[in-house]
Amino acid sequence: MSYYNDEERLAADVLKTIARSQAVKEYVQQSPNLYPLLFAAARRFVTGETVEDALRAADYLSAGGYRVSLEYIGENTTDIAACREAKTTFLRLIEEVGRRQADATVSFDLSHIGLSIDPGLAESHLLEMAEAANKQGVTLMISMEESTKTEQILRLYQKMAFLYTNIGITIQAHLHRSQEDLTHLLSLPGRIRIVKGAYKEPPEVALPRGEGVNQRYLELVERCTAARHPISIATHDAHLIQVIEQKGYAHLPFVEMEMLYGIQPELSKQLREKGVKLRIYLTYGTEWYLYLCHRLAEHPPNLFVALADMQDPTRTAEIPY
């Protein structure tokens, strides 16, 4: 269970705020000095810059008994050509993954493939990806972004879920609206991934990290398991996972657990050894800035780890499983 002290809460707030700054992001991406320095810290959570890096990690983890989910990282793309390029890259990823991994999923932000420009563009790209994924036996998992996009993302998912059953959706326990959203989502066939929620949101929209979110998280899990709906319990919270195990949910046939690459690998190993179906979420690409900020904000002691990783990049050279 993570409870921030005052300094950590402040650090988390600052990190989540700068995560949203397009100017800082562009500065980091374009700086020949800052990019490699911060990338050394990002490498703890991102498999590398190329699809080959991600597939190497995916093969390694699959051989070790893990399921995998892959993301070509990026979000809030406001250039049509870049959205098309992202969609083309995802099509390649779907093909590669479908050829190599049984049970693999591909995850993505709808704002990476056009939502920030035009929902119609995102829809047409999603249709192409869903068709390709369907042929390859791959599941697509739509990530959930800031609350200003929740409605659009759910609307698009609901439209697509009637056409393709191989698309799933992510829901954030911290949002006040999520219990009601779940009622609709349970009537659709796709897998539901339950997360706490990574974005900084105002109090009228979401609860801050703490016991209230954990309680809501558990309620969402309980409603899904009662409905025997396919879910992915996506958390690194050891206490919450213990409760979920004690309640007997972790081994249900339609339940899987999911964790981000590089976070709590020891806990991942323990769960896998107990026979829990565990998926590791792998990211790759050069647009890792927001992702890194979120991983630091979730666990501010990571700032010290990041400093050490920048000073000695060999610390993150090995796959930590």
Binding residues among 174-213 for ligand FDA as defined by CB under 6 A: 195-199, 209
**C-beta of 80 vs 238, nearer to ligand FDA:** 238
Pick the piece of the chain touching ligand FDA (CB under 6 A) from 9-17, 150-158, 259-267, 310-318.
Answer: 259-267
Q: Note every long-range contact of 92-95, with CB atoms under 8 Å and residues 24 or more positions apart, other chains counting.
A: 92/51, 93/51, 93/54, 94/129, 94/132, 94/133, 94/136, 94/138, 94/140, 95/132, 95/136
- Cα gap 234→236, rounded to integer Å: 7
How many CA atoms lie less than 13 Å away from 116 in the CB half-sphere?
16
Pick the piece of the chain touching ligand FDA (CB under 6 A) from 9-17, 78-86, 243-251, 256-264.
Answer: 256-264
**C-beta of 199 vs 289, nearer to ligand FDA:** 199
**Contact string (CB under 6 A) for ligand FDA, positions 101-140, x = contact:** ----------------------------------------
Query: Is residue 309 involved in binding ligand FDA (CB under 6 A)?
Result: no
**C-beta of 156 vs 198, nearer to ligand FDA:** 198
Selected binder of ligand FDA within 96, 181, 237, 256 (CB under 6 A): 237
- Cα gap 318→321, rounded to integer Å: 9
Residue pair 179/216 in contact by the 8 Å Cβ criterion: yes
Selected binder of ligand FDA within 122, 144, 160, 271 (CB under 6 A): 144
**Burial annotation 236-268 (CB, 10 A radius, 16+ → b, else e):** bbeebbeebeeeebbeeeebbbbbbbbbbeebb
Residue pair 220/179 in contact by the 8 Å Cβ criterion: yes
**C-beta of 27 vs 40, nearer to ligand FDA:** 40
Instruction: List interacting residues with ligand FDA (CB under 6 A).
Output: 2, 143-144, 170, 172, 195-199, 209, 234-237, 258-260, 263-264, 281, 295, 298-299, 302
